[in-house]
Every structure is written in structure tokens, then in C-alpha cells.
């Protein structure tokens, strides 16, 4: 690794930001611990309960980080290899996603994987659904070119903003986005852009780490790459505010490096009722994050069982 994390982060230009979900400027500081001891500050929004980094490096700094340091810092590799893919979580993760989206692919003509990386999921979709036209979006050229060479997909190399401009007249029947949303600086803009690529019959699969999962212990999921840390409730709020409704929710069996959750959603067919958490619940979430993540202690308590609360709220709209 060419950089010393703490010194690197100290030199970055940073800015205080509003909540990426609800634009509120009021927050509480939770801790200044992270995976690489950069002294990154995690806060919780006092309105919607999103946990995010604040202050945060500017967009220019973050773009430079992803272009020049991200893969080496987090993956220790610049270009994927078969050994790298076989030894990582990529194949099991692709199998899980494929199983969940298979009913929709059976009726689909087009499929898009946002943040397709080395293209493992795309290749599996092509193998089982050869009549589906496949597309991928990947900002990392080395990983994107590997996906090009090992699939039949049309792979776009670059950021999502450039992709949206090029494909603004396109629609996709099935879209997946695994472990990407937590990296996005402006998530509502990102999600609204995706909604423009969908029809009322399209579905959107999202997978992110679940920071309040009972298995989380320590700061492994907190780092510069994760500018937001979701739990089921904060993810639901973001999706509803961005014009989506939830179809399915998954929390078990996801073969990710960190405890994760997944949601299948679609464009909302009616106005969404966005219920924000109470001050008490926000305080409970903050305490849970501080205890489990910052202090690395295990906590299992019914009053923190937000998964059960959300599970009761989820339903398939007709």
C-alpha cells in the first residue's frame, strides 16, 4: 500500500455536509474510530437516523480516492484474476442474487448490473438466461475490462452520471446494485437517476451492509469507502423518499464479507407514507452503534430489534 491511512486522510480537504437522505443539518457524533484508524467521524441524523461520515472529504477528493487508492487499499489488487474471484465472496454472492432475481429474469429482456466489478454476476445471468441482453456499469477500468473479456455484456467504463447521460433513453427490466449504494456521495440523486432507467414493470435489487445486524462487532464496516452506514429502517426511508416501494426484504444467507441485507424494490405506484423514527429510537440506534461498532461489544436486546419492526411493515403492494 502506497499510503499511510491516517496521514492520507488528515491531508484531504473536507466539508461539513447535510444528511444525504433528508438534508437535515442536525446530527449527533457517535465516534471517531474506523477500520484504518483514520479518525473518521461517524454521526447520526437527528431526523431520519441515517448514520454517515461527517465531515466528509470533498467530491473531488473522493473521486481521486476511488480512482487512485480504493482498490489497493481495500482489495490489495489492481486487476482481478481467476484465483482472486474463486477465493473471494463473489461467486457465492452472485449465486444468492441470481436466485432472488430469477423470477424476474424469466420475464425480462434486459439486465443491468451497476458496479459490476469483474462481472461474475453478469456471467451467471448470461449462462442461465441467454436471451436476456446484459449491461454493466463499472468505474474501475481494470475490473470493467475484465468483465468485458469474460462476458457478452455491453460494459460501460465510467461513473454513473456519465452512464445516465448516455443511456437516458434506455430502460432495463432488471437492475442490480450490490454493495455500491453505501459508497455513493449523493444517494437520492443516484436513485432518482436509476428510476429514469426503469418502467413500472422493472425491479431493482439493492444489497448493502447492515450496520445494526446482531453479528456486527467492531469497526470493520466503518471506513472512508462507506460514506453511509444503513440499517433496514434508514434504507427504507431513503428508498421511499427517492420514489421506490419495497417488494422483498432479505437479511439471512447473504454471503458477504460483512453482515448485509438486500431489498427488491420497484417504482412506487402510489404516494409513499414515510414515517420517520422517534427521538427515542434515534438515540437507541446511536447507542447501539457506539456499543457494537465503536466499542466492539456484543449487544442483543429486544428494544434494539429494528429488523423485526421493519419486517412487520414490509408487504408486497398490488
112: closest CA among 142, 139, 138? 138
CB neighbours of residue 259 within 10 Å: 18
Q: Which is more confident, 302 or 18?
A: 18
- Between CA 207 and CA 114 the distance in angstroms is 11
Longest alpha-carbon distance in the chain: 53
Q: Are 173 and 110 in contact (CB under 8 A)?
A: yes
Reported as a single tens digit per residue, the pLDDT across 223-239 is: 999 999 999 999 999 99
CB neighbours of residue 303 within 10 Å: 9
pLDDT of residue 168: 83
Q: Are 233 and 306 in contact (CB under 8 A)?
A: yes
Section 127-139 average pLDDT: 97
Section 213-218 average pLDDT: 91
For residue 298, name the pLDDT band (cuts at 50, 70, 90): low
Predicted structure pTM score? 0.91
Can you identify the CATH homologous superfamily of domain 82-278+287-313? Vaccinia Virus protein VP39 (3.40.50.150)
pLDDT of residue 70: 80
pLDDT of residue 304: 44
pLDDT of residue 186: 97
**What backbone phi and psi angles, to 5 degrees, belong to 178?**
-100, 120
Q: Are 80 and 140 in contact (CB under 8 A)?
A: no
3-state secondary structure of 65: helix
For residue 148, pLDDT beyond 90: yes
Reported as a single tens digit per residue, the pLDDT across 103-130 is: 999 999 999 999 999 999 999 999 999 9
- Between CA 84 and CA 118 the distance in angstroms is 10
For residue 316, pLDDT beyond 60: no
Amino acid at each position: 500500500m502506497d499510503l499511510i491511512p491516517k496521514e492520507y486522510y488528515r491531508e484531504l480537504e473536507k466539508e461539513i455536509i447535510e444528511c444525504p437522505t433528508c438534508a437535515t443539518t442536525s446530527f449527533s457524533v457517535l465516534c471517531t474510530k474506523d477500520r484504518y484508524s483514520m479518525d473518521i467521524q461517524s454521526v447520526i441524523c437527528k431526523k431520519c437516523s441515517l448514520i454517515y461520515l461527517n465531515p466528509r472529504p470533498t467530491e473531488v477528493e473522493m473521486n481521486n480516492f476511488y480512482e487512485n487508492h480504493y482498490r489497493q487499499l481495500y482489495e490489495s489488487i489492481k486487476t482481478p484474476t481467476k484465483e482472486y474471484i474463486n477465493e473471494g465472496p463473489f461467486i457465492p454472492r452472485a449465486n444468492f442474487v441470481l436466485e432472488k432475481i430469477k423470477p424476474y429474469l424469466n420475464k425480462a429482456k434486459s439486465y443491468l448490473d451497476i458496479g459490476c466489478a469483474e462481472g461474475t454476476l453478469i456471467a451467471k445471468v448470461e449462462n442461465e438466461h441467454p436471451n436476456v441482453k446484459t449491461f454493466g456499469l463499472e468505474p474501475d477500468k481494470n475490473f470493467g475490462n475484465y468483465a468485458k473479456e469474460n462476458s457478452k455484456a455491453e460494459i460501460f467504463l465510467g461513473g454513473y452520471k456519465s452512464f445516465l447521460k448516455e443511456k437516458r433513453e434506455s430502460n432495463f427490466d432488471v437492475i442490480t446494485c450490490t454493495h455500491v449504494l453505501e459508497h455513493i456521495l449523493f444517494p437520492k440523486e443516484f436513485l432518482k437517476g436509476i428510476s429514469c432507467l426503469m418502467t413500472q414493470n422493472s425491479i431493482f435489487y439493492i444489497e448493502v451492509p447492515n450496520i445494526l445486524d446482531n453479528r456486527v462487532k467492531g469497526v470493520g464496516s466503518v471506513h472512508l469507502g462507506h460514506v453511509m452506514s444503513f440499517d433496514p429502517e434508514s434504507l427504507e426511508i431513503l428508498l421511499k423518499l427517492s420514489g421506490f416501494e419495497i417488494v422483498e426484504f432479505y437479511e439471512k444467507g447473504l454471503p458477504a464479507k460483512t453482515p448485509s441485507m438486500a431489498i427488491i424494490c420497484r417504482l412506487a405506484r402510489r404516494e409513499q407514507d414515510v414515517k420517520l423514527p422517534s427521538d427515542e429510537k434515534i438515540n437507541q440506534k446511536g447507542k447501539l452503534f457506539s456499543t457494537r461498532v465503536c466499542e466492539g461489544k456484543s449487544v442483543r436486546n429486544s428494544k434494539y430489534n429494528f429488523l423485526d419492526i421493519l419486517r412487520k411493515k414490509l408487504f408486497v403492494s398490488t
